[in-house]
Amino acid sequence: MRGDVSESESSAIEERDTVLRCLAGESAAWGFIVERYSSLLYATAYLMSHDRGLAEDATQEALLAGWRRLETFDPARPLRPWLLRILVNEVLQRRRRRMLAFIPLLKSHEGVRSADRTPESQAEKDWEREEIRQALRSLPADSARVVLLRFFAELSPAEIGEVLSLPEGTVKSRLHRALKKLGKELAKRHFVDLPNEDGGTEEARKARSLS
């Protein structure tokens, strides 16, 4: 039996040990959890709400709620889906009366510019973002949430089911329908590099099949 441990396994062990320390009363250990997940939680909240102030408040509240409810968490399970579920519920509660704007596939906030991009490449990226944003608005909110959690938060269908309290089969069917509709919308806009359920793009999948 091999004694080496993968990086992901090592990270999971470290996280579980940290949670156990928190449960034992070591409140300072929660700082490790905050440092690891605050950026992901904030970005997810921002992409759901398109509101930086709301995202900051929801992130802080989700982390605080996570600390308060930690005794209900099973340390044998992954922490990320559990925290994201708290966050999603917090955002939905804050935006219940307003239309949610979902912008998956964007790995940075709007307005952020890479120093090494040319004006032409930046303009192309801006165009792609706008096309994706407009296409996402054609989706029902529940479908957009699934797309966001799959391609931005990079959760598996099973983990998304935990976050949204849905059966895994329902998550997969919503994701399939959402991507099919997005594909039609983006095709109208001459934008075809659409992710599939596995997280890759259709063009990349075709390229792999030909290699």
Q: How many domains does the chain have?
A: 2
Does residue 113 sit within a domain? Answer: no
Shared domain for 97 and 23, answered yes or no, is yes
Q: Which pLDDT does position 34 carry in this prediction?
A: 93
Specify the pLDDT at position 17: 92
Amino acid in the structure at residue 22:
C
Pick 79 or 2 by higher pLDDT: 79
Strand partners, 169: none
Q: Are residues 83 and 125 in the same domain?
A: no
Q: Under DSSP, is residue 166 helix (H, G, I), strand (E, B) or coil?
A: coil
Considering the domain boundaries, does residue 108 fall inside one? no
Residue 46 has pLDDT above 80, yes or no: yes
- Reply yes or no on whether the pLDDT at 19 is more than 80: yes
Q: Do 96 and 166 reside in the same domain of the chain?
A: no
Residues 190 and 128 sit within 8 Å (Cβ to Cβ): no
Is 210 part of any domain?
Answer: no
What's the pLDDT tens digit per position in 100-137? 334 444 444 444 444 555 655 556 566 566 777 777 77
**Mean pLDDT of the chain, nearest integer:** 76
The yes-or-no verdict on residue 209 having pLDDT over 50 is no
> What proportion of the chain, given as a percentage, has pLDDT over 70?
70
Same domain, 35 and 91: yes
Could you give the CA distance from residue 87 to residue 37 in angstroms, rounded to a whole number? Answer: 11
Look up the CATH number of the domain holding residue 194: 1.10.10.10
Burial grade of 125 (CB within 10 A; 0-12, 13-18, 19 or more): middle
109 domain residue, yes or no: no
163 and 87, same structural domain?
Answer: no
Q: Give pLDDT tens digits for 76-94.
A: 888 999 999 999 999 888 8
Looking at the domain assignment, is residue 208 inside a domain? Answer: no
CATH number of the domain to which 44 belongs = 1.10.1740.10
Distances (CA, A) of 29 to 16, 23, 39, 140: 11, 10, 18, 39
pTM, two decimal places: 0.60
Look up the domain containing 86 and give its range.
10-101
Nearest to 75 by CA among 129, 126, 17: 17
Helices (H), 95-139: 119-136
Cβ distance 102 to 148 under 8 Å?
A: yes
